[in-house]
């Protein structure tokens, strides 16, 4: 297979993933009814509030979009995968997250990522970032996941987090140490300064998530 053909296939695959995710993320009356039937009336209200937030954020400036999405999802309660899904690791779709009304760190990051993509934020400006988090006055680190926004390549990103719920530049979050980051089109390895792209996103958990979207 020549390089031009391979590149074309990869581009088409990325576009297809984006179209599928976008179409499945659009709220319809039928989808809302299914959510209510599966998760109950409280879930329906949560999703309607999300839809209202999304509608009111469409024409906002980027920082307002980031804040609105971050604030909305941070109101949902935290619950570990083991307690919530009876699995060691489970990446919920945004509607599963809103439907059940609980989730862990990657669920917040994923829901924020897809909401901002739906609001027109380009994929290259967003990354779901795996970090180690160190609490104040603690010598122990824990695995954590946040969403990061880059206003331009190489810029210091803004961190959208469910622990420290205020939008902050990564340089203002010494408690976070990046390990790797990804979006729909790529995977990056963290370095001492910045990060380097190491390939496409072939994470198994991401593929499983997209299969349920």
- The CATH architecture one would assign to domain 3-211 is Roll (3.10)
Phi, psi of 57 (to 5 degrees): -95, -10
User: What pLDDT is stored for residue 21 in this prediction?
Assistant: 53
**Which of 179, 192, 187 shows the shortest CA–CA distance to 203?**
187
User: What pLDDT is stored for residue 97 in this prediction?
Assistant: 98
User: What pLDDT is stored for residue 20 in this prediction?
Assistant: 47
| 99 vs 92: CA distance, rounded Å | 10
The ranges assigned to domains in the chain are 3-211
* Mean pLDDT per 10-residue section of the chain, whose length is 213 residues: 40 43 73 96 97 97 98 97 95 97 97 97 97 83 95 95 97 95 94 79 89 84
Tokens 């009814």 found at: 33
How confident is the model over 49-102, as pLDDT tens digits? 999 999 999 999 999 999 999 999 999 999 999 999 999 999 999 999 999 999
CB burial class (10 A; 0-12, 13-18, 19+) of residue 34? middle
User: What pLDDT is stored for residue 128 in this prediction?
Assistant: 98
| 54 vs 76: CA distance, rounded Å | 16
User: What pLDDT is stored for residue 23 in this prediction?
Assistant: 52
């Amino acid at each position: 297979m020549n390089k031009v053909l391979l590149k074309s296939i990869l581009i088409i695959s990325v576009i297809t993933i984006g179209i599928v995710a976008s179409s499945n993320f659009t709220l319809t009356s039928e989808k809302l009814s299914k959510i209510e039937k599966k998760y109950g009336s409280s879930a329906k209200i949560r999703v309607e509030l999300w839809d209202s937030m999304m509608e009111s954020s469409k024409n906002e400036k980027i920082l307002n979009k980031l804040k609105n999405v971050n604030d909305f999802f941070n109101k949902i309660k935290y619950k570990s995968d083991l307690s919530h899904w009876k699995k060691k690791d489970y990446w919920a779709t945004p509607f599963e997250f809103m439907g059940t009304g609980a989730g862990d760190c990657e669920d917040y990051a994923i829901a924020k990522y897809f909401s901002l993509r739906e609001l027109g934020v380009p994929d290259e400006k967003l990354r779901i970032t795996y970090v180690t988090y160190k609490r104040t006055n603690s010598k122990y680190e824990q695995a954590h996941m946040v969403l990061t926004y880059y206003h331009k390549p190489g810029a210091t990103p803004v961190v959208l987090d469910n622990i420290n719920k205020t939008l902050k530049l990564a340089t203002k979050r010494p408690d976070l140490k990046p390990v790797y980051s990804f979006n729909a089109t790529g995977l990056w390895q963290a370095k001492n300064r910045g990060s380097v792209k190491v390939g496409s996103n072939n994470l198994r958990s991401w593929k499983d998530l997209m299969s349920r979207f």
